[in-house]
Amino acid sequence: MHIIDSHFHWWPRSVFETLCKREGFPRARPNDKGCYTCILQDGADYVMNSWPDWFDLDEQFAHMDGLGHRVDAVGSIGPFSVYFSTLPLEEGRDLAIQWNEEMAWAQRRYPGRFWGSAAIPFQDEKVAMDVLEDAVGRLGLMGVNLPGSVGFDPRIDAERMQAFYARCAQLGLPVFLHPTDAVFNHMLDGYNGALHLSLGRVIEVSVAAMRLVLSGTLERHPDLKIVMSHTGGALPYQSGRMDKNTKGAKLPRPASEYLHNMYTDTVSPHAAGIKFAIDYYGIDRVMYGTDYPCWDPAACLKLIDDIGLSDADKQKLFYDNARRILNLRDPAPAATAPQLREPAPVK
């Protein structure tokens, strides 16, 4: 079967090498796995460690080839996406452009098999819009990443963000909403990160999505494509509670109607959770995703087999939905492809 993994992480080393040169926060340092430990703020209980599987796209595709299927991949940033908005403005802008150029290079190296999405620094409205236009226009990236907070500010529904959302809606760009580590990590500290990773990120992405609902952002921009990670966080399960207790926001429709207009993936190590996401959103709004290398694609495939979908629904889940929802296109001929620099060598 031809599969598209809609929730896949490849990280370019050059970006983390740049972050290793910083002395203040946020910063990175080499770790004992030959990769990086990223530290968002002083005194944080949780730090973000990476291992080699994040950084070698050739090896990642070789692993996918071992599954017995043709697997293409959509690269999103994941928890690192908040770092671009915690840096000083010019540094955040330059690092985001560096990330975006690396994604464009990977698209060129793997035409029709890898699609990259853009990093955006959200500290400043104009800079965010400039980086967005560059990512889409010059570099040809297919979507953008939205962290659960703008740096340490949880208000992704702020008025200054509305022009960005309007432009994404106008362009038909998918917006990948993924939890990060800036807001809830102190509240859920301890246990070597177990509480934060298991529950904190689910809470963060759910709160972020509800801010977009309750603020009227999704009412004002009905064509905005929000791709909620991790089967929608806690929101499908708590949908009735959202309708019961959000009347104070004075929305013209129940909150659940906006939630149903989002999209999601199959990242849940629980067959019942995946099935419930499909039942809640509808098969046309759910895409296969593995969170690789955070999760084993073979385990995800096994759980989906356990659900017992029809062949027609599997075709939608594994391939057709991603092509349609994410506007994935076949690569441009070489004569018309944008001229991009090769990524800087890692020293």
pTM for the predicted model, two decimal places = 0.92
pLDDT of residue 332: 61
Measure the CA angle with vertex 259, ends 205 and 193; round to 5°: 15
For the stretch 165-177, pLDDT in tens is: 999 999 999 999 9
pLDDT of residue 335: 45
pLDDT of residue 202: 85
- DSSP for 197-247, written as a single string: IIIIHHHHHHHHHHHHHHTTHHHH-TT-EEEESGGGTTTTTTHHHHHHH-G
Quote the tokens at residue 17.
Answer: 């090498």
Q: Of 94, 83, 102, nearest to 131 (Cα)?
A: 94
- DSSP for 65-121, written as a single string: HTTTSEEEEEE--GGGGGGGGTS-HHHHHHHHHHHHHHHHHHHHHSTTTEEE-B---
For the stretch 201-232, pLDDT in tens is: 888 889 999 999 999 999 999 999 999 999 99
Contact predicate 180/147, CB 8 Å? yes
The domain segmentation of the chain, as residue ranges, is 2-9+55-332
The dihedrals phi and psi of 75, each to the nearest 5 degrees, come to: -85, 120
Question: Angle between the 13-20 and 89-109 helix axes, to the nearest 10 degrees?
Answer: 160
pLDDT of residue 192: 79
Q: Which stretches of the chain drop beneath a pLDDT of 70?
A: 45, 182, 185-187, 331-347
Find out if CATH 3.40.50.300 is the number for domain 2-9+55-332. no
For the stretch 174-196, pLDDT in tens is: 999 998 876 776 667 778 778 87
